[in-house]
Chains A and B, each alone.
Chain A
């Protein structure tokens, strides 16, 4: 260990002594690769300084807290300002390339020593690279999830069409996560508005297969447990044919061809009558 410590100190001070060269080289390479576009000179300098300092701190202490902080902060910044994955990856690879060259120039003549020096600094660089990519991917995933959730909420509107009557016009595909959300939103709205009838319109769903039918049955079952009646409308002749061919049993569900038929039935359930003036 003692020998490695000495070597580590030697490598750290070697890199620190060449910090200015490394930074300059880094900026030059990144610019030559047409990365760091849209950043002014100061920002570019700062970026180079940040990555090198973080790396040196991790190398010196063997602790990756700095790398973790840097990665998270950088990933947030990158996602907000639209920095692409290519730059994120090249940031670290460029630094590694420069350090590699520098090490070779200094120690290349003695193979054994050179090998030991590489072993001293390279793993730290790889681990830091791991942190940066992980933070970036996680950041992207987080954003994607938020967008997806926002989109899902938009795509499951529950509308109050009459006192005690709710309507859900479904558009797009009805997959499991969406059914789950629909059910939660719908049931809560039923309780909030004390609605007695729910009209689920499926005319905007392109394909109704066994899975979709199953999701519908689940939604209807849960609605009934609360004490509300569920009417499924928008069952086109094509859907009706498909369902029968698939052998899907919808006999437990009240269905109507159109939304207006559904509304008429809702009025009947509530004992209401529409008359002309």
Chain B
């Protein structure tokens, strides 16, 4: 059974997805994220998908939905580490992950999140230099 660890650093939740998720596991992760946001004043969501070899429309939609739910709770989402072949496939599939920020790695992802949620000192060291645009 796939287990996904959710880490909370400051006001940001970090979710590294390490294994291929099947339906119920994926839906469970979505549940866990949402309830975490609700309980703990989370402002940003960082989903690391660098270990995923396949992101099909189901998972793509799940990520998009999660981001949309998070957004209505005042929380921004960044997806980091998409593999090049996965990005090409997603694009050809017709999934453009609208409403989700993207970044190359966790570091730039955090920078970007801190910038968009206007994080102040005391949370995570920020260098307000990122200029990435959301998709």
- Chains A, B in direct contact (C-beta < 8 Å): yes
Pairwise interchain contact A190-B104, C-beta atoms closer than 8 A: yes
What CA separation (Å) do A225 and B97 show in the bound complex?
8
What CA separation (Å) do A229 and B88 show in the bound complex?
15
Tell me which of B91, B104, B133 contacts A194 (CB under 8 A): B104
List CB contacts (< 8 Å) of A173-220 with chain B: 183-184, 187-188, 190-191, 194-196, 218
* Interface residue SS majority, chain B: mixed
**B residues in contact (CB < 8 Å) with A:** 78-80, 82-85, 87-88, 90-91, 96-97, 101-105, 108-109, 112, 129-133, 135
Pairwise interchain contact A184-B84, C-beta atoms closer than 8 A: yes
Pairwise interchain contact B87-A270, C-beta atoms closer than 8 A: no
Question: What is the count of residue pairs linking A and B with beta-carbon distances less than 8 angstroms?
Answer: 70
What CA separation (Å) do A227 and B83 show in the bound complex?
11
Q: A196-B108, A226-B104, A227-B108 are in contact. Are A270 and B129 (CB under 8 A)?
A: yes
Pairwise interchain contact B84-A188, C-beta atoms closer than 8 A: yes
Q: Give, as a whole number of angstroms, the nearest-CB distance from A263 to chain B.
A: 14
Number of interface residues of A (CB under 8 A): 22
> Is A221 an interface residue, CB under 8 A from the partner?
yes
Pairwise interchain contact B131-A183, C-beta atoms closer than 8 A: no
Tell me which of B80, B84, B85, B133 contacts A229 (CB under 8 A): B133
What CA separation (Å) do A218 and B87 show in the bound complex?
11
Tell me which of B83, B84, B112, B135 contacts A224 (CB under 8 A): B135
Interface hub of A187, A225, A229, A271 (most chain B Cβ within 10 A): A225
Chain A 210-246 interface 0/1 with B at a Cβ cutoff of 8 Å (1 = within)? 0000000010011011111100000000000000000
